[in-house]
């Protein structure tokens, strides 16, 4: 488990990132381990303060210090520990072999620099392009991400672009050097639904074409459902559940994941009932209760949960859950799934789901035909 590759592009081992604040030590990330295989997409889901963004800033060593500090752990990229590399070498990896897209493209783009220059900088630095090569490359990248009239617009300033276009520019920058790993931190949160669909489509297409591995960080369970191979659910700096995407949605083994799934309105299966609501507030990570951090909000919590920190239980080959009652919760979920009749919703609700967009050739011959 500790050594090298095994088809893993990235292996994070027992990562701990703490922040010193007036309020005491905040254990933003506290003992996170995961693997990312080549060409796969990993979703990291969590609410604010869960540690999902800090995990990824740690991976690329962008934790502001002070107050932040990577206390321990390993981040193996191709078997090489990024955390123990000299800063100079990390800089060579960052932006070239691992690149990032952030939520707000306006704060990540320099407002005083033309788009062209911002794109050229990267390839001049990392690929040794000449000015002409870099300029051509910049135009090509804007075309790749679907900016119309790329050549005419490459010399624009960021404010001349809309939110969706700026996010495309960010993606163009991130993909300029054909990175092996793309980290997208809430890439569509600031965007409208139809633009979100465009951007997700773009990431999916580019991933297929280039084979880039992706880490997608989001609070939106809908976004990860359609985009990822595996999912990690984080809460209070810990991994609460880890599983292949379909497995996680079909049979969650952690009460937090279950509650989260039930608390999101689902336009397909909706029956007009009250939403399940998780009581209480997200935890104050500086003052965590003893025992399980989710216990105060958990429908399943018992005495032991408030007393003892839960174990990380392996439910099957690829499915893990941090819970004293992981086995029971998992069994409960599987029973519920079977009662629903496998992974499909109950009969009464099938019809709306088809009309919401699932392909049904008998009903929409033109759509179905074009898709095949």
Partner 1 sequence: MTTGGAQQADVAGMPQALMASDGREPLIAIRDLKVHFDLGGGSKLERLVGGSGVRRVVKAVDGVSIDIFPGETLGLVGESGCGKSTLGRALLRLTEPTGGHAFFRGRDLAGLSKRELRQHRRHLQMIFQDPYASLNPRMTVSQIIGEPVETFRLARGRQEREARVRELMQTVGLSPRFLKRYPHEFSGGQRQRIGIARALAADPDFVVADEPISALDVSIQAQIMNLMERLQRERNLTYLFISHDLRAIRHVSDRVAVMYLGKLVEVADAKVIYRDPLMPYTKALISAVPVPDPEIEAKRERIVLQGDVPSPINPPPGCRFHTRCPWAVEACREVVPPLAEIKPNHFAACIRISPEEPDIERVAPSDAPGLRNPGRVIEQ
Residues of the shown chain interacting with partner 1 in the complex, contacts defined by CB under 8 A: 47-48, 148, 162-165, 192-198, 200-201, 219-223, 225-226, 245-246, 249-250, 259-261, 263-270, 272, 274-279, 281-282, 297, 343-344, 351-353, 355-359, 364, 366-367, 370-372
Q: Which of residues 39 and 163 has its CB atom nearest to partner 1 in the complex? A: 163
- Min dist. Cβ of residue 1 to partner 1 (A): 27
In the complex, minimum distance from the CB of residue 126 to partner 1, in angstroms, rounded to a whole number: 30
The rounded distance, in Å, linking the Cα atoms of 345 and 192 is 28
How near is the Cβ of 227 to partner 1 at its closest, in Å?
8
* Planar angle of CA 288, 311, 213, nearest 5 degrees: 90
Side-chain half-sphere exposure of 256, counting CA atoms within 13 A? 28
d(CA 251, CA 33): 22
Shortest Å, Cβ 132 to partner 1: 30
When the beta carbons of 73 and 237 are compared against partner 1, the nearer one is: 237
88 vs 271, which CB is nearer to partner 1?
Answer: 271
User: Could you tell me the smallest distance in angstroms from the CB atom of residue 257 to partner 1?
Assistant: 11
Closest approach of Cβ 331 to partner 1, in Å? Answer: 21
Nearer to partner 1, 84 or 362 (CB): 362
Q: Kindly state the tokens that stand for 111.
A: 């407002």
Residue 127 or 195: which CB sits closer to partner 1?
Answer: 195
As a whole number of angstroms, the distance between CA 218 and CA 74 comes to 23
User: Exposure pattern of 124-149 as b/e (b: 16+ CB <10 Å)?
Assistant: bebeebeeeebbbbbbebbebbbbee
Nearest alpha carbon to residue 185 among 57, 370, 22, 36: 57
- On whether the CB atoms of residues 111 and 159 are closer than 8 A, the answer is yes
Indicate the length of the chain as a whole number: 372
Nearer to partner 1, 15 or 223 (CB): 223
């Amino acid at each position: 488990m500790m050594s090298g590759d095994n088809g893993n592009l990235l292996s994070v081992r027992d990562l701990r990132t703490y922040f010193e604040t007036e309020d005491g030590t905040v254990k933003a990330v506290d003992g996170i381990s995961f693997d990312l295989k080549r060409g796969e997409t990993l979703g990291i889901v969590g609410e604010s303060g869960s540690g999902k963004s800090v995990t990824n800033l740690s991976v690329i060593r962008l934790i502001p210090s002070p107050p932040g500090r990577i206390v321990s752990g390993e981040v193996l990229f191709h078997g090489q520990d990024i955390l123990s590399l000299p800063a100079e070498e990390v800089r060579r990896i960052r932006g070239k072999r691992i690149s990032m897209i952030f939520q707000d493209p306006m704060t990540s783009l320099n407002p005083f620099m033309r788009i062209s220059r911002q794109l050229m900088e990267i390839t001049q630095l990392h690929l040794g392009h000449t000015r002409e090569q870099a300029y051509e490359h910049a135009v090509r990248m804007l075309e790749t991400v679907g900016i119309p009239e790329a050549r005419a617009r490459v010399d624009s300033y960021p404010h001349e672009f809309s939110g969706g276009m700026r996010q495309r520019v960010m993606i163009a920058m991130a993909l300029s050097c054909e990175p092996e790993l793309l980290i997208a931190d809430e890439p569509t949160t600031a965007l409208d639904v139809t633009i979100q669909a465009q951007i997700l489509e773009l990431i999916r297409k580019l991933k297929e074409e280039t084979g880039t591995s992706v880490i997608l960080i989001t609070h939106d369970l809908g976004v990860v459902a359609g985009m990822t191979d595996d999912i990690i659910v984080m809460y209070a700096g810990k991994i609460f559940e880890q599983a292949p995407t379909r497995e996680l949605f079909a049979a969650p083994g952690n009460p937090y994941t279950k509650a989260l799934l039930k608390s999101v309105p689902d336009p397909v299966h909706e029956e007009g009932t009250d939403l399940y609501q998780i009581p209480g507030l997200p935890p104050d990570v500086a003052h965590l209760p003893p025992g399980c951090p989710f216990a105060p909000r958990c429908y399943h919590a018992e005495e032991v949960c408030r007393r003892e920190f839960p174990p990380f239980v392996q439910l099957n080959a690829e499915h893990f859950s941090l819970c004293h009652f992981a086995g029971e919760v998992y069994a409960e979920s599987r029973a519920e799934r079977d009662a629903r009749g496998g992974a499909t919703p109950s009969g009464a609700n099938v019809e709306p789901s088809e009309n919401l967009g699932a392909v049904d050739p008998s009903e929409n011959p033109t759509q179905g035909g074009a898709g095949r």
